[in-house]
Structure 1
Amino acid sequence: MIESRLPYEISLSPNAAAAPCARLVLKDRLKEWGLTELLDDASTVTGELVANAARLGQDFAVRLIPEDGALLIEVVDSSPNEPQIKDAFGDSDAEGGRGLLIVDALAAGWGVRRENRQKVVWARVAS
């Protein structure tokens, strides 16, 4: 069914339930789209991107866009600050910075782009 492969978007608030909520929606969408083989990596990537957005303290959106054998995950917020990979593994006292290293390791690609006045952090997870 073509309709079931349409992109899906959910708006979230910056709270402790954001990442679990996004992962639950992701699981349902991947099942509907027949992309369950992507669940483990996509769940981890989604959780990391959502956690980064939630730290900003503003509402944000998560877009899930099915592709042939892949999933494009986009997190949209209004922060002007672009995320950057930090070498936090060498510093055992670091409280953050590992999320994008994990995204970089699991995703087929990721990046940041501007869309109107918003920032879109995206990652592509492929089988």
Structure 2
Amino acid sequence: MIESRLPYEISLSPNTAAAPCARLVLKDRLREWGLTELLEDAGTVTGELVANAARLGQVFTVRLIPEDGALLVEVVDSSPDEPQIRDAFGDADAEGGRGLLIVAALAAGWGVRREGRRKVVWARVAP
């Protein structure tokens, strides 16, 4: 069915259920699109990007876009601040700072772009 390959978008509230909710939606979409081989890496990448957006304390949007056997994950928020990779692996007590390093390791590419006043953090997950 052609419609099943259309991009999917969901708005989420900034709370502790956001990342698990996004991963559940992701799992359903990947099954529908026949891309279940991406589930593990895409789940981790999506969870990290969503957790970053949820920390901003405002509603944000997750877009899942299937493309040529890969998946583009976009998280859209209204914060002007761009995410920065921090090296927290040397600090065992750090509670954060590893997410974008994990995204960079698992994704075929990632980055940030502007859509008007909104920021889009994206990652492409490929087999």
Report TM bin, short chain: over 0.9
Aligned to 2:30: 30
Q: Distance in 1 between matches of 2:83 and 2:71?
A: 21
Equivalent residue letter for 2:65? I
Q: Distance in 2 between matches of 1:71 and 1:95?
A: 28
Deviation at 1:95, TM superposition (A): 1.9
Deviation at 1:116, TM superposition (A): 1.4
Aligned to 1:52: 52
Equivalent residue letter for 1:7? P
2:54 is the counterpart of 1:68: no
What are the Cα deviations for residues 102-123 of structure 1, in whole angstroms up to 9, with x where unaligned? 0000000000000011000000
Equivalent residue letter for 1:79? S
Equivalent residue letter for 1:39? L
What are the Cα deviations for residues 35-67 of structure 1, in whole angstroms up to 9, with x where unaligned? 000000000000000000000000000000001
Provide the TM-score with structure 1 as the length reference: 0.98
- Provide structure 2 residue ranges, at least 5 long, that are not aligned to the other structure: none
Aligned to 1:12: 12
What are the Cα deviations for residues 65-116 of structure 1, in whole angstroms up to 9, with x where unaligned? 0011100000000000000100110112222110000000000000000001
2:121 is the counterpart of 1:126: no
Q: Distance in 2 between matches of 1:31 and 1:48?
A: 21
Provide the TM-score with structure 2 as the length reference: 0.98
Partner SS for 1:66:
strand
Runs of 4+ in 1 over 2 A off after TM superposition: none
Aligned to 2:87: 87
